[in-house]
Amino acid sequence: MLFRGQRTRGRPIGWPLAPWSWPRGSSGRCLGGGRVSDEGSSPVIVPGPSGLKIALLDVESVKHHEETVPELLSALLREIERDGVLKHPIIVDEATLVVLDGTHRVEALKALGCKRVAACLVDYSDPRIRLGCWYRTLKGLDSLLGLVEKLKYKFGFQLEECHEIKPEELGKPPIALALTDGKRYVRLVAEFKDKREAWELAKLLEKAIRELGVEVGFEVEEDAMSKLRGGEVDAVLMTPRVLKE
């Protein structure tokens, strides 16, 4: 993965740091497969092991439709400038060049004046390719119910405690989102039309939680719940799952 054409120890700066090898019989354009995703609202899970097409694309040629989160973009810019590498290729639909995962990486490279970006080219219609969702992990809570009370009375969110909630229930009116500490669940009830509007509510809720001094992180669903069970985080903000259309 080229980054400003610089080199170090005989390899281009920006080449993937994780161990990899060319598949037997490949033309040098494929990498061994797996889950390739590290940011965005809809992580992409690609099948593996398999051959993945990797290409250098003009950074202006790829199209993305997701909004960027300023804090994430700033952090990524600092990381790339510090390390001199872009650690993961973006994921792009080969037919349309729409960015499926990597919006922040594209914008960071543009801001740094880079002309090309390494991209993993996939067939979005392939049923083996799945979309996931990003949960928010929360650290620094005294209690979930204490957080809920502040969110209700300071910001006016309509939050209701419930015994349990299934991930597939989220994003279906009137249940937009949910919070859990692993013992209890609290659902956000609101007027909204679809999952896109539910994700907008997630941004508002996340902003309010940050304003209360809570540390917010991003993890895919499975990793977020695993960290919650392991006591690494205090609570999780559950968001709607993405479905391919």
Answer yes or no: is pLDDT of 113 > 70: yes
Q: Are residues 158 and 111 in the same domain?
A: no
Q: Are residues 61 and 75 in the same domain?
A: yes
The alpha-helical segments, DSSP class H, found in the chain are: 70-83, 103-111, 144-155, 195-211, 221-229
- Listed residues 130, 161, 184: the one ending a domain: 130
Question: How far does Cα 78 stand from its chain's mean position?
Answer: 18
Q: What is the pLDDT of residues 205-231, one digit of tens each?
A: 999 999 999 999 989 899 999 999 999
User: Where in the sequence is the domain holding 214, given as residue range(s)?
Assistant: 133-238
**pLDDT (0 to 100) of residue 159:** 96
Rounded-to-integer distance, Cα 203 and Cα 155, Å: 13
The alpha-helical segments, DSSP class H, found in 51-163 are: 70-83, 103-111, 144-155
Q: What is the pLDDT of residues 43-67, one digit of tens each?
A: 555 555 556 788 999 999 999 867 6
**pLDDT (0 to 100) of residue 145:** 95
- Report the percent of the chain where pLDDT is more than 70: 77
b/e sequence 64-77, b meaning 16+ C-beta within 10 Å: bebebbeebbeebb
Quote the tokens at residue 220.
């895919």
- Listed residues 96, 130, 164: the one ending a domain: 130
Helices 103-111, 70-83: axis angle to 10 degrees equals 60
Q: Are residues 162 and 102 in the same domain?
A: no
